[in-house]
Chain A
Amino acid sequence: MVGKGRKKLISKGGVRVDGRKPGDLRPIKIKVGLLERADGSAYVELGKNKILAAVYGPREVYPRHLSLHSRALIRCRYHMAPFSVEERKSPAPSRREVELSTVIRDALEPVIFTEFYPRTVIDIFIEVLQADGGTRGTGIIAASLALADAGIPMRDLVAACAAGKVDGQLVLDLNDVEDKEGEADLPVAYAPQMEAVTLLQMDGTLTKDEFERALKLAVDGCKQIHALLKEALRGRYLAVGDVVEAGVKKGKGGES
């Protein structure tokens, strides 16, 4: 896909269009517990991605026939706001959104102790307010935090990050231009304590050796993000602890 006369995406000194080095993540900003009505919620910015996730449940399943007798049903909706991309996106779910909703659901369910809540549903809603490449990963991060914020017991916290190939080089955490014009994109979700890859997709062209290196790079990115997620949650609960200690009954959403 390296077009004729296209602007280079990595300079001779190995600097990317947004000033990063190949192995750098974009700046990340996390807020946990900011939606009062939701059982759990989180807001994540990764570069220019702005994504909000909310979790409702465990709650009664409607329609009822979907309920599972031995475990909770996990439902997930990934959705992009019409104003989140350059050209207005129709609010009706696209084929891409239907697919991503499914793979994100499958990426999160392995860490949830669904067997604790039979005949209930846990609904995960992800809204992309602004998209800048890597929205499924950023959505997973936000959803993981929202699940934790909802107090849902989990085996691990799922982190996510993409790796890919741009201008012939392997890079971490592709932005929008790199995703669209690069040679390959490999989104990964990873649960570090379980050492488990829970989401894996790829498009583009990579040799087997490049694929292996890209996968390891993405997993390493996930580990870095996992540490940031833990820190954000700890910050959130320390803040809650402070509020409780101060004798205020209702804690407001903490920032970190």
Chain B
Amino acid sequence: MVRSSEVISNIERKRILELLSQGKRLDGRGLKDYREIKVERGVVEKAAGSALVSVGGTKVATGVKVEVGKPYPDRPEAGALAVNVELTPLASPTFEPGPPDKYSIELARVVDRGIRESKAIDLEKLCLVPGNKVLVVFVDVYVLNHCGNLFDASELASVLALMGAKVAKYVVDKGGEVKAKAKRVPLPVRNYPVSVTMARIGGDFVVDPSLDEEMVADARITVTTDKSGNVCAVQKGGVGVFSVDEVMEAVDIAVEKSGELRRDVLGV
């Protein structure tokens, strides 16, 4: 998640590599440590659900909105899910206003995959009139400050926003009209996907890379697991490569760390 316009000085690059060779990181963390994670739930009252997550200096807000819409043609009896990421220009000197670019699209699609493939939302419960009217869940991820590892911050913020989301109770009357009642009910959330992103720097993996680590990294791997510890999404990024054993090492680390995050951050 680093643009070519981001720069890092050679001396900092060298220092990061030097420290890593002794098993240390620039900010004093262990190789598998996350930065401090802070969570605020329900930060935006107008959203059905929202959360603000900071991972070190990285700040991401997610808002969930629910509307009545059409189902996908291939899933006529299921609600729809749409994940979108905005890399707002206030988050980094390298972010510019404009339509989503490849960075925000990849980020959105990886977050989407985690939620969708773990079946975090019981979409079948969001069907109102089969083939015609369903609830569409919009998950809008707003990146507010980019200090590295947008993937995990975005996934956490999105899952937290969904967990706290309350939507109007919709009923279908005899004429097939959909009406929203005043009563608010939680979204049917039944799984808690958590992504763990690692950067590969030389021969080492670092969990939760900071921006400067992302800049010296050869490659990135994001492994998303569900609440049973099954793997539900994987994404390799960057030009570097992994051996089969390294991929499995990353999966092992992800299973371990995601369990901790689920317990300590999501509280489930």
> Which residues on A are within 8 Å of B, measured CB to CB?
87, 95-96, 98-99, 101-103, 106, 109-110, 180, 186, 191, 194-208, 211-212, 215-216, 219
Cross-chain contact A203 with B232 (CB below 8 angstroms):
yes
User: Complex formed: what's the CA distance from A125 to B246 in Å?
Assistant: 31
Inter-subunit contact A106/B230 (CB<8 Å): no
Contact check, A200 vs B235: say whether CB atoms are below 8 A apart. Answer: yes
Q: List, in ascending order, chain A residues with CB within 8 A of B221's CB.
A: 200
Asked if B231 and A206 make an inter-chain contact with CB atoms under 8 angstroms apart, the answer reads yes
Chain B residues packing against A (C-beta within 8 Å): 73-74, 100, 102, 105-106, 108-109, 113, 116-118, 221, 226, 229-244, 246-248, 251-252, 255
Contact A197 B244, CB 8 Å, known A205-B118, A207-B230, A208-B230: yes
Contacts of A99 in B (CB 8 A): 102, 105-106, 109
**What's the nearest-Cβ distance from chain A to residue B232, in Å?**
5
Given pairs A197-B244, A204-B117, 15 additional interface contacts (CB within 8 A):
A87-B73, A99-B105, A103-B237, A106-B238, A109-B239, A110-B239, A110-B241, A180-B74, A196-B242, A196-B243, A200-B236, A202-B232, A202-B235, A205-B118, A206-B232
Q: Which residues of B contact A110 (CB under 8 A)?
A: 239-241
Asked if A106 and B117 make an inter-chain contact with CB atoms under 8 angstroms apart, the answer reads: no
Residue of B with least CB distance to A219: B244
Asked if A216 meets B244 with Cβ closer than 8 Å, knowing A95-B108, A103-B237, A201-B236, the reply is yes
Do B234 and A212 touch across chains, with their CB atoms under 8 A apart?
no
Find the residue from A99, A102, A205 having the highest chain B CB count within 10 A.
Answer: A205
| A-B pairs under 8 A by CB, number | 95
In the complex, the answer to whether B240 meets A212 with C-beta atoms within 8 Å is no
B242 touches A205 (CB 8 A): no
- Please tell me if the beta carbons of A211 and B251 are within 8 angstroms of each other in the complex: yes
Judge whether B248 and A215 touch: CB under 8 Å: yes
Which chain B residues lie closer than 8 Å to A180 at the CB level? Answer: 74
Interface centre among A194, A199, A201, A215 (most CB of B within 10 A): A201
The 8 Å CB contact of A106, one of B108, B226, B229, B237, is: B237
Q: Which of A87, A109, A197, A219 contacts B236 (CB 8 A)?
A: A197
Per the bound structure, the CA–CA distance linking A245 and B255 in Å amounts to 60
Q: What are 15 inter-chain pairs, A to B, with CB distance below 8 A?
A: A95-B109, A98-B102, A102-B102, A102-B106, A106-B237, A106-B239, A110-B239, A200-B235, A202-B233, A202-B234, A202-B235, A204-B232, A208-B231, A212-B248, A215-B247
B264 to chain A, nearest CB (A): 21
